């Protein structure tokens, strides 16, 4: 769903949506200050996938507008933001600063027909970095550093011994990478997790050999993750989360996999990968509505086609960030929060914005202990 904040450009927006069969949108004409709106209505944005901001219709200062957008981008990582700035030109400082915050969707044309074309692209396929590079700062500008948002949160588990099962639609599609990333994510928010090798690949043994572990028994600790080379007793080991890596669908132990609390299938997006996805529905037909799908290696322009092709499951489809290092705890945090929302509790939420001039605004949003 698209949320559009404007006062003077309802006609332009309505026409573009009508001509491109975009029906799921809402126009707000009462927002005078985006910064205040963000502070008071932050939770109400959960259901939106896109946000259009008409900067000519709000009275925020440049700093307020950038602070609000940095906050939104940090909390809603998948939210596509379009800036409607009719008549603004490349070189404008506001647009340049927004570009430095990875905002690439701008509508600035003065001619109505061109405005419609620009808005159509922003709302459908979206602009890339190269599409909007004319808004970039000059290379020697001293003000190119991004604002930094730090969100300080504490989490607790809703129950003990949660089992997460991960399987790939084929070998080398990234199931192990996702399993390790989920471990890193859980450990990074203060919960206790472990990786369990529930397949025959012997990756844990290979890691032990590479790190000169000669007397390995059942597990090793590598890069902060406890890694077991076989199934373990959940009751006696005491972890909050057990992440089981089942390898690929062809070698899946179905009876074991279906017992997991969370069931994840890792998929590819090439044409030949979809043949393998069909195996998932054949083998796991009875639990297909319980599966979360993570797609690796997905071009931005392909995401819409995948969501349309698997429309029945689109609320449980996620697109992974590029993850060359599986031990990077910064990747896919928004995805894992959404998949695990039924099993973790957010106790506190404090946010800081560190400005380019090192001035900080602390605790803009804060929730007390639950």
What is the structure's pLDDT at 177?
94
With residues binned 3-state (H G I as helix, E B as strand, rest as coil), the percentages for the chain, rounded to 5, are 35, 25, 40
Which token pair is 294? 């993570």
Is residue 27 over pLDDT 50? yes
pLDDT in tens, 128-137: 888 888 888 6
> For residue 357, what pLDDT band results from cuts at 50, 70 and 90?
very low
Is residue 140 over pLDDT 50? no
> Which positions ≥6 away from 165 have C-beta within 8 Å?
198, 244, 246, 256, 257, 259, 260, 262, 263, 264
CA 5 to chain centre: 23
pLDDT in tens, 290-318: 999 999 878 777 888 888 888 888 889 99
Percentage with pLDDT > 70 across the chain? 87
CA 151 to chain centre: 15
- The structure's pTM equals 0.56
Average pLDDT over all residues of the chain = 84
**Stronger pLDDT, 39 or 15, i.e. the higher one:** 15
What is the structure's pLDDT at 254?
95
Residues 265-289: what's their mean pLDDT? Answer: 87
**Stronger pLDDT, 175 or 357, i.e. the higher one:** 175
pLDDT in tens, 220-257: 888 889 999 888 877 678 899 999 999 999 999 999 99
Residues 9-37: what's their mean pLDDT? Answer: 91
Helix residue ranges per DSSP H, the chain:
10-19, 34-41, 62-75, 93-100, 112-123, 175-188, 203-210, 234-237, 254-257, 273-283, 300-309, 333-339
Residues 355-361: what's their mean pLDDT? Answer: 41
Instruction: Please check whether residue 48 is in contact with residue 3, taking contact to mean a CB–CB distance below 8 angstroms.
Output: yes
**Alpha carbon distance 195, 164 (integer Å):** 10
The full set of domains in the chain, from first to last, is 2-146 (3.40.50.2300), 159-342 (3.40.50.300)
Phi, psi of 114 (to 5 degrees): -70, -35
Sheet holding 360-367, edge to edge: 148-157, 344-354, 360-367
pLDDT in tens, 146-180: 555 555 567 788 888 999 999 999 998 999 999 99
pLDDT in tens, 178-197: 999 999 999 988 899 999 99
> For residue 210, what pLDDT band results from cuts at 50, 70 and 90?
confident
Percentage with pLDDT > 90 across the chain? 42
pLDDT in tens, 80-127: 999 999 999 888 899 999 998 889 999 999 999 999 999 999 999 999
Residues 322-329: what's their mean pLDDT? Answer: 79
What is the structure's pLDDT at 152?
54
What is the structure's pLDDT at 183?
95
What is the structure's pLDDT at 348?
53
Helices (runs of H) and strands (runs of E) counted in the chain = 12, 16
What is the structure's pLDDT at 147?
52
């Amino acid at each position: 769903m698209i949320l559009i904040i404007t006062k003077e450009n309802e006609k332009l927006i309505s026409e573009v949506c009508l001509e491109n069969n975009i029906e799921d949108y809402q126009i707000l004409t009462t927002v005078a200050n985006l910064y205040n709106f963000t502070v008071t209505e932050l939770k109400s944005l959960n259901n939106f996938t896109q946000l259009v901001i008409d900067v000519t219709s709000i009275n925020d200062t440049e700093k307020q507008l950038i602070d609000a957008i940095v906050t939104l981008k940090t909390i809603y990582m998948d939210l596509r933001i379009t800036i409607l700035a009719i008549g603004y030109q490349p070189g404008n400082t506001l647009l340049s600063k927004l570009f430095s915050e990875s905002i690439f969707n701008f509508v600035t044309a003065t001619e109505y027909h061109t405005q419609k074309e620009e808005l159509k692209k922003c709302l459908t396929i979206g602009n890339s970095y190269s599409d909007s590079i004319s808004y970039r700062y000059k290379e020697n500008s001293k003000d190119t550093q991004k604002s930094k948002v730090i969100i300080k949160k504490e989490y607790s588990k809703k129950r003990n011994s949660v089992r997460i099962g991960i399987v790939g639609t084929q070998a080398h599609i990234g199931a192990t990478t996702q399993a390790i990333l989920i471990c890193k994510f859980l450990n990074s928010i203060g919960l206790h997790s472990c990786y369990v090798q529930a397949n025959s690949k012997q990756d844990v043994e290979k890691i032990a050999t590479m790190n000169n572990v000669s007397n390995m028994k059942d597990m090793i600790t590598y890069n902060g993750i406890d890694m077991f080379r076989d199934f373990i007793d959940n009751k006696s080991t005491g972890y909050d989360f057990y992440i089981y890596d089942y390898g690929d669908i062809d070698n899946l132990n179905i009876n074991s996999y279906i017992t997991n609390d969370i069931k994840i299938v890792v998929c590819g997006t090439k044409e030949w990968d979809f043949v393998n996805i069909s195996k998932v529905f054949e083998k796991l037909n009875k639990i297909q509505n319980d599966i979360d799908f993570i797609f690796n290696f997905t071009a931005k322009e392909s995401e819409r086609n995948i969501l349309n092709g698997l429309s029945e499951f689109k609320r449980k489809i996620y697109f992974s960030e590029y993850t060359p290092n599986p031990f990077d705890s910064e990747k896919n945090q928004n995805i894992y929060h959404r998949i695990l929302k039924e099993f973790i509790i957010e106790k506190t939420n404090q946010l800081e914005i560190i400005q380019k001039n090192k001035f900080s605004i602390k605790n803009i949003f804060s929730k007390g202990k639950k």
